[in-house]
Structure 1
Amino acid sequence: MEETSVLLWKGCTPMQGLLLTASLLNFWHLSTTAHVTIESLPPQVTEGESVLFFVHRLPKNLNAFAWLKRLTNTTRGIAWYTLDNNLRGPGPGHSGREIVYHNGSLLLQNVTQKDTGSYILQTYNRRRKIISTTTIYLHVHAFLWKSGHHATSTQLRIESVPPIVAEGKSVLLLVHNFPETVVGFVWFKRMTESKKCVVARYTLSRKSTVWGPAYSGRETLYSGGSLLLRGVTLNDRGLYTLEILRKDMRCEEAQVQLQVDTSPSLFCKPLTSSQLMIQLEPPYAAESEDVVFQVQNFPEDIQGFSWYQSKYRTEVLKIVEYNRAMNSISWGPAHRRRGMVYNNGSMMLWNVNEKDSGIYTLEVSKKDSKIEKAYVEFHVKQYVSQPFVHINDTTAEGHRSVIFTCISPDPDVSIRWIFNNKIMKRTERITLSPTKHALRIYPVRNADAGEYKCEVSNRFSLKTSLPVSWPR
């Protein structure tokens, strides 16, 4: 080791020390590399949540990288990773809640306000020289109280970030409401009926990942259940299922539809595909309307086909079955006299209601005994009700505080708070519950006097409460 280098990691082996040292001069004066960027997922995080520092465009010639946290007067190493042998290890700043991945990303679990600060990613080449230094600032919002009985459902759910991903880009299947009492989990591409669809299995006690037949080499699995897919292609689109096993041996499932942007570019040839696909017309139907599950690229050499519906954590329900040899159609009891099927596989449902929301599967049996499937997620339009705001004045440690609660009967809604007709933002004094149903101001000031409203919305509608004045 060169005498001019400063050891950032006490107690590490000589090899680790070589990889994780840096010149003080280089550290403080090397500008952040323009090519390496770090994205915070989610962009805002509250105490108790997890955050992923997702790294884009790592240098190609790097040999190792290290994550550090900048404190007031010092910098402490969190974790290191060497790419040659896939070794990783903790630094003195490791709290037991950090996980570092081979793509450079860092997962910080169960964050606290003490985690607020600057996080630094440094990359090194084989000559132990710093290639890049990139910094991201994390602000952890306070959560000092609970919002009572107005929280939304804690059902396991998955969000695609972004909702529609362009070919060649990355997408994060972000898991929400991941239970604490989990033994392990499995990711499937499509549904869970075939071992061939397994992407990965994860066991929490051993912190081990076993990749399955559906693993493409482009996936990264996180201990919080989320799945990252890089270099997305058209073949990646479709349904993904997460199945978790709790300590009491209960299983729970959630699904997400991965949508790939196939919009043709002015400089590219139009996209063509022979893959079996389903298109909804209309994409979203209101209650009592009709919807067509329009099939594209339907094969000609079929023996028959079947339609199925499944809801989260419920059994699969057969809707209708068609047998070409017998030219027979058999409807399930729940959909008899409620629909129509066509010889191209398409299906129409009449007079839909909220119970018709879910995942729909078309299973086609070919003459060569092969099975081809397609999936689509269907939502019936649900319009939110107008919420109202409840005010609770409190006193804490001699300082007055106020809690506003947005009361809405609708589940799975997004909430925004409005003060004097302007969208409110979180600050050190203004905090939100994890569901955003409740807003707390502590301590209150004269400038907080005015009109407060809450706005609830889902993907179909938006309603705003009547204004309430504070002080009353």
Structure 2
Amino acid sequence: MESSVLLCKGCTPWQRLLLTAFLLTFWHLSTTAFVTTVSVPSRVAEGNDVLFLVHNLPEKFKTVAWFRGPSNMTAIYGLPDNLSRPGPAHSGRETIFHNGSMLLEKVNLKDTGFYTVRTYNIHGNAISTTYTYLNVYAPLWKCGLLDTSLQPTIESVPPSVAEGGSVLLLVRNIPENSVGFAWFKGMTAFKNLLGIRHLPFRKPIVFGPAYSGRETLNSDGSLLLHSVSQKDRGLYILRIVRADGKDEEAQVQLQVDSSLSAFCNALTSSRLMIQPVLRYVAKGEDVLLQVHNLPKEALVFSWLKSNNGSPARKLVEYNRLANVISWLPAEEIRKEVYENGSLLLQNVIESDAGMYTLEVLYNYFKTERANVEFYVKKSVTEPYVQITDTTVTGGTSVILTCVSPDTDVSIRWIFNNNNLELTEKMTLSPTKCGLRIDPVGREHFGLYQCEVSNHFSLQTSYPVRLG
């Protein structure tokens, strides 16, 4: 097997093992079999190597040639002179072996596509043509201490939207190796497709048959729906396409309430409304969900709470006729409800934050609802930047990762004490925690920091030098 070692000079142990395996296979093939090609691996991450294994070459071929697509010649290998000659499409990363197989090193997204291998006889006539497809995907982003086992969820904000208003279907826990997503109104059939958005966002949005012109597909995966009507209510499904082939789905039920008005004046309207005092509270403080304009004819009212798109659960029910208050077990602790409908939460903790709904039942069996949301202040932790290689000299790629234990934060990258301006050589992960530069040039050398922030605080990492 000395020849296989010579052919694979400079290869990694993994590549040498593969080369030895396919050479052994090649020597025992039937000469009557069809030529086939297999890429190893079948899907390759950007920056890695791929080996196109060729099986069943004709017994008396003179030359083998590889093409990028159907006609752009990459390189040829001639027998019996055993010389490899580069073609016009040769990038310097291709190596062809005497059994026809080709090694392509440090692949990038532009390498994705079809490749053709042809064999020729002594007269220069083609005796076999075989095609193979290379699938290159962006690397899996592993950002910080985030729990990768978390499933994507969708929260309707607000939980029930008035006719004529707008609603945001907010997506949480998007996988960092996402390459695109699609929204459907109803089940995942083509007729129900609202739109498709690719990651990164260099490709245009593709709208589907169900698109009405009122939908906006945001870069974070969320869907914003304007001027809603009763026809918009129902099931919405998000399909997330991942680079590793393991696609995921999340769904949400959109509630449209015709009894709510999207254009109420919060201070002068006589319609039922809730005002939080305060909307942003620190842990341990009290918050009053103050109700205005609770009608006298209201018989029963209830408070419900939902969080991160979870189904609303009832906290308390107040029967005004019987003057009876019924609390869900353990919910009366740190809470107090008043006859005018207001709810007091004392000594709040982080789990108290979320969306609260007041549901009112009248004597003519009509139901009215109002929603309010408040937040518990939480300071973010100082992040830090990980870098794959701080000593790059140019021409290679590098990945910087902003590591933070906090979720639901915004991330900003800083370069030499200024906001980082992205170029074509830079790619951000979906949540911006990962920054890839490929290839690195001298203009990229300097100090990098990342900043994480929420509604209440921000922290900036210690600078890391590249170059």
Residue 226 of structure 2 corresponds to 229
Mean Cα deviation higher: 271-280 or 254-263: 254-263
Higher Cα Rg, which structure: 2
Residue deviations 1:179-207 (CA, integer Å, cap 9, x gap): 9999996xxxxxxxxxxxxxxx5343251
Quote how far apart the aligned CAs of 1:456 are: 0.4
- SS of aligned partner of 1:379: strand
Residue deviations 1:341-399 (CA, integer Å, cap 9, x gap): 11110110001111112221111122222211111223222211110111112999x93
Choose which of 339, 344, 347 in structure 2 pairs with 1:343.
339
Whole-angstrom distance in 1 between the partners of 2:253 and 2:379: 23
Residue 253 of structure 1 corresponds to 252
- Count of aligned pairs: 297
Whole-angstrom distance in 2 between the partners of 1:149 and 1:282: 34
Residue 141 of structure 2 corresponds to 147
Shift in alpha-carbon separation, 1:260–1:306, aligned structure 2, 3 A: closer
Written as runs of structure 1 = structure 2, the 5 A alignment for 1:133-212 is 144-150=138-144, 155-157=152-154, 173=168, 176=171, 177=174, 202-208=186-192
What are structure 1's unaligned runs of at least 5 residues?
Answer: 1-111, 115-141, 161-166, 186-200, 211-217, 265-269
Quote how far apart the aligned CAs of 1:287 are: 1.2
Preserved CA contact (<8 Å) 1:183 1:205: no
Whole-angstrom distance in 2 between the partners of 1:365 and 1:352: 28
- SS of aligned partner of 2:351: helix
- SS of aligned partner of 1:455: strand
Residue deviations 1:62-115 (CA, integer Å, cap 9, x gap): xxxxxxxxxxxxxxxxxxxxxxxxxxxxxxxxxxxxxxxxxxxxxxxxxx999x
Whole-angstrom distance in 2 between the partners of 1:256 and 1:395: 54
Preserved CA contact (<8 Å) 1:295 1:344: yes
Residue deviations 1:117-171 (CA, integer Å, cap 9, x gap): xxxxxxxxxxxxxxxxxxxxxxxxx9843322546866334698xxxxxx99x95
Task: Report percent identity of matched pairs.
Answer: 43
Residue 271 of structure 2 corresponds to 275
TM-score, normalised via structure 1 length: 0.52
- SS of aligned partner of 2:389: strand
Choose which of 384, 390, 401 in structure 2 pairs with 1:405.
401
Preserved CA contact (<8 Å) 1:182 1:204: no
Choose which of 455, 461, 467 in structure 1 pairs with 2:463.
467
Residue 423 of structure 1 corresponds to 419
Shift in alpha-carbon separation, 1:373–1:113, aligned structure 2, 3 A: farther
What RMSD over aligned residues (CA atoms) do the two structures have, in Å?
4.9
Residue 55 of structure 1 corresponds to none
Shift in alpha-carbon separation, 1:228–1:434, aligned structure 2, 3 A: same
Choose which of 440, 446, 450 in structure 2 pairs with 1:444.
440
What are structure 2's unaligned runs of at least 5 residues?
Answer: 1-108, 112-135, 158-162, 195-211, 240-246
2:304 equivalent to 1:304: no
Preserved CA contact (<8 Å) 1:417 1:423: yes
Written as runs of structure 1 = structure 2, the 5 A alignment for 1:44-83 is none
TM-score, normalised via structure 2 length: 0.52
Quote how far apart the aligned CAs of 1:440 are: 1.8
Residue 283 of structure 2 corresponds to 287
Residue 39 of structure 1 corresponds to none
Quote how far apart the aligned CAs of 1:426 are: 1.3
2:387 maps to a residue whose letter is: I
Choose which of 342, 360, 367 in structure 1 pairs with 2:363.
367
Quote how far apart the aligned CAs of 1:220 are: 3.7
Residue 199 of structure 2 corresponds to none
Preserved CA contact (<8 Å) 1:158 1:256: no
- SS of aligned partner of 2:430: coil
